[in-house]
Amino acid sequence: MNTQQLILMLKQQLAHIEQEALQHDNQLGDQQKKTLQHVERFNHSVFIQEGAQLSPCIVQLRKDIAQLEKQLTLNLAKSTIELSCLRIQDRFTALRRALLTTGLNLKSAEQKKASNRARYAKKQQQSVQDSGFGWIANNIMQNSHQLYQELNKHFAWANKIEFKIQQMESNLEVCHAADKITLQNDILLMHRRLGKCRQAISYIEERIQHFERPRQSLNR
């Protein structure tokens, strides 16, 4: 095979695989493109390309063939020509393999996303349980109406506790010395209850924002 036949054969192969790559890319749905958006399809030594679409690889292959044609015209060293041919062959092989394995890449990416979601959900659930407000998430976190009811309830509790603390602190000034330590401990306990109540209020307010955010996005 002479040099002209070699270049002609490579250009024919390129034209054929270009049609396959374009057809492949046109058949991809928006969700599939999004799923593979940051997935590396190739080793960087073969193609610098990531994501779902494969037609950008054709541009790199076309440059390689043009470079080889120039090298042959300049009659460069045999080792240089062989190296270019091997690079082109490796890229053709890698692109054909990528065309056949898009389905597997999609499945792998979806499984990875599902695993990450499950891990995040588990972490969030553990965080809720560790916060001491797991009973809120389990019992009343179904919709924003229930959340507002619970928020109002906690505000009422906080007001009652604050009023109780004020009463106890007033009594502390006039109570018998022997009773002061007990009353001080009771006041400290009430402050702790108030702190817990305020933490619950903050938590519920965050949950309300979580529920309301999708609505706000839809109303824009």
Dist. CA 81–CA 97, nearest whole Å: 25
Is residue 46's pLDDT more than 50?
yes
Predicted local confidence at residue 183, as pLDDT: 87
CA distances from 98 to 19, 30, 57, 82, 194 (A): 14, 19, 11, 24, 60
pLDDT digit string (tens) for 12-44?
Answer: 999 999 999 999 999 999 988 988 888 888 877
Same domain, 45 and 99: yes
Q: Find the domain containing 37 and state its range.
A: 3-126
Among 27-36, 98-107, 156-165, name the one with the lowest average pLDDT: 98-107
Same domain, 201 and 110: no
The total of structural domains in the chain comes to 2
Name the domain boundary from 126, 156, 172.
126
Same domain, 57 and 138: no
Name the domain boundary from 92, 126, 160.
126
Most confident of 12-16, 44-48, 115-119: 12-16
Same domain, 66 and 143: no
pLDDT band for 62, please (50, 70, 90 cuts).
very high
Put simply, whether the predicted model's pTM sits higher than 0.75 gets the answer: no
Same domain, 157 and 110: no
